[in-house]
């Protein structure tokens, strides 16, 4: 063994494990490196997709799970076009991201949902059904309304104090669970880097900048149009989540405001962004010539339905259809709850945390590498 090369145990089950998350058809790969050469986002310090594929082929679980590369891929597909072995590295990177989501979640629920269509669909339906039970329970038992009055046109104000706490729980629970994974991801990807605190501090804005601008996607020349839709979707959902967490009492009211009031136009703008961004994602996926799973459709569809039902509540309220507003509001809660508790907590939406975090940690690694003299030959030789 060459001096400085770390001995790493191989895991013969790794490939089979990855394939439980989706297509990973890379056995024909002969490591020519054309995919990496074609990738506009690969560099000397982030060598992908070839390196990740190589780790998987060799059964090197530890460096694969400790790698950030799959999150740095923006899914443009250039590598798949140039691959002489039709190994489809782009799809392999998608599968690796699902696999990593499963590794990051300490509850094991994400792994189940990402591997099984049945578990995914059943969890969405179960949470939606429980939400219906909670809504009925609130009206019939908590408020003591007779069943005959469930179809009576009432204002929504009576439920706002309760729904405020409910909304905070279904938004903050996923956030807290996601934050608990930050420590786990740091341990898996950064604990061996010995990066100084100054590197974390000086690169903190890199993650924030990416989360706000989604600018990395623009570096792929073929992805400019996709970046616009993605930016609208990320900005719309981010705005709506911020409003729901920090300004729910102001945003959620039966008061009638003029159109120029921020309470209205901020909501309309965020909903329009989500509708445009979600629609472009759906159209792109319909046109895509790649493997799609139900969970690939789940998030954009749920986001669109949440935005449409939320807008419907507003329209019915402002046009005086109180009973319609009441039912539209119940439908909005029934759609939004599984989206937050299943998709955001254990599904694809978790990437809104993982991607910026990966950019941040990668920037920290690169900053630390400039500050700490490189240990010659150290690392995994692939």
Residues that bind ligand SF4 (CB under 6 A): 29-35, 38-39, 41, 48-50, 53, 73-79, 83-85, 87, 89-90, 93, 220
Q: How far is the CB of 48 from ligand SF4 (least distance, A)?
A: 6
We find the least distance from the C-beta atom of residue 43 to ligand SF4, in angstroms, to be 11
Residue with tokens 């935005």: 307
Q: How far apart are CA 245 and CA 324, in angstroms?
A: 26
Tell the smallest beta-carbon distance from residue 288 to ligand SF4 (Å): 12
Closer Cβ to ligand SF4, 84 or 377, answer by number: 84
Query: N- to C-terminal Cα distance for the chain?
Result: 13
Cβ-based nearer residue to ligand SF4, 214 or 309 = 214
Rounded distance between C-alpha atoms, residue 140 and residue 132, angstroms? 12
Report d(CA 199, CA 376) in Å as an integer.
21
Q: How far is the CB of 21 from ligand SF4 (least distance, A)?
A: 17
Shortest distance in whole angstroms from residue 370 CB to ligand SF4:
24
Do you know the residue count of the chain?
A: 382
Tokens of 290: 């790649």
Least Å distance between CB 226 and ligand SF4?
11
**Residue 111 near residue 102 (C-beta atoms within 8 A):** yes
CB nearer to ligand SF4: pick between 73 and 275? 73
How far apart are CB 73 and ligand SF4 at their closest, in Å? 3
Which of 30/260 has CB closer to ligand SF4?
A: 30
Q: Which residue, 49 or 310, is less far from ligand SF4 as judged by CB?
A: 49
How far apart, in Å, are the Cα atoms of 143 and each of 134, 140, 149, 162, 359?
12, 6, 11, 11, 48
* For ligand SF4, the closer CB: 77 or 267: 77
Q: In terms of CB distance, is 44 or 376 closer to ligand SF4?
A: 44
| Identity of the residue, 33 or 320, whose beta carbon is nearer to ligand SF4 in the bound complex | 33
For ligand SF4, which is the closer residue by CB, 249 or 285?
A: 285
Q: Which is nearer to ligand SF4, 60 or 171 (CB)?
A: 60
Minimum CB–partner distance for residue 182 and ligand SF4 (Å): 24
- CB-CB neighbours of 41 under 10 Å: 18
Write the burial class of residue 266 (CB in 10 Å: 0-12 exposed, 13-18 middle, 19+ buried): middle
Least Å from the CB of residue 349 to ligand SF4 = 20
C-alpha 340/C-alpha 175 separation (Å) is: 10
3-state secondary structure 135-151: HHHHHHHHCCCCHHHHH
* DSSP string over 99-139: HHHHHH-TTSHHHHHHH-HHHHHHHHHHHHHHHHHHHHHII
CB of 63 to ligand SF4, least distance (A): 17
331 is written with which tokens? 């439908």
Residue 82 neighbours by CB distance under 10 Å: 14
Give me the helices (H) in the chain, please: 14-19, 34-38, 50-58, 61-65, 69-72, 78-82, 89-104, 109-115, 117-137, 160-189, 197-202, 204-213, 224-246, 248-251, 262-287, 294-318, 322-338, 345-346, 351-371
């Amino acid at each position: 063994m060459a001096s400085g090369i770390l001995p790493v145990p191989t895991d013969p089950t790794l490939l089979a494990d990855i394939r439980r998350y989706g297509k990973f058809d890379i056995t024909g790969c002969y490591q020519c490196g054309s995919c990496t050469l074609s990738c506009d986002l690969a560099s000397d310090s982030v060598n992908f997709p070839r390196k990740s594929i190589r780790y998987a082929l060799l059964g090197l679980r530890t460096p694969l799970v400790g790698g950030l590369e799959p999150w740095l891929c923006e899914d443009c597909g250039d590598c798949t076009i140039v691959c002489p072995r039709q190994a489809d590295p782009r799809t392999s990177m998608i599968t690796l991201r699902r696999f990593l989501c499963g590794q990051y979640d300490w509850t094991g629920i994400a792994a189940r949902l990402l591997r099984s269509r049945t578990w995914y669909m059943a969890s969405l339906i179960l949470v939606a059904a429980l939400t219906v039970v909670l809504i009925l329970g609130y009206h019939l038992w908590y408020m003591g309304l007779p069943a005959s009055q469930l179809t009576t046109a009432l204002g929504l104000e009576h439920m706002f104090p309760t729904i405020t706490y409910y909304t905070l729980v279904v938004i903050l629970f996923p956030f807290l669970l996601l934050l608990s994974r930050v420590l786990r991801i740091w341990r898996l990807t950064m604990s061996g880097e010995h990066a100084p605190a100054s590197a974390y501090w000086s690169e903190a804005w890199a993650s924030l900048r990416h989360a706000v601008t989604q600018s990395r996607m623009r570096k792929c020349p073929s992805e400019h149009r996709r970046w616009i839709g993605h930016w609208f979707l990320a900005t719309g959902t981010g705005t709506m989540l911020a409003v729901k967490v920090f300004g729910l009492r102001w945003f959620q009211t039966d008061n009638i405001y003029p159109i120029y009031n921020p309470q209205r136009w901020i909501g309309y703008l965020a909903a329009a962004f989500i509708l445009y961004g979600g629609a472009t994602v759906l159209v792109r996926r319909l046109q895509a010539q790649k493997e799609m799973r139900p969970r690939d459709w789940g998030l954009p569809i749920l986001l669109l339905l949440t935005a449409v039902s939320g807008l419907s509540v507003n329209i019915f309220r402002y046009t005086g259809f109180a009973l319609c507003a009441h039912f539209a509001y119940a439908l909005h809660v029934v759609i939004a709850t599984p989206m937050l508790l299943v998709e955001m907590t254990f599904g694809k939406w978790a990437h809104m945390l993982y991607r910026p975090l990966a950019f941040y940690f990668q920037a920290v690694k690169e900053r630390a590498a400039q500050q700490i003299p490189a240990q010659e030959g150290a690392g995994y030789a692939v």
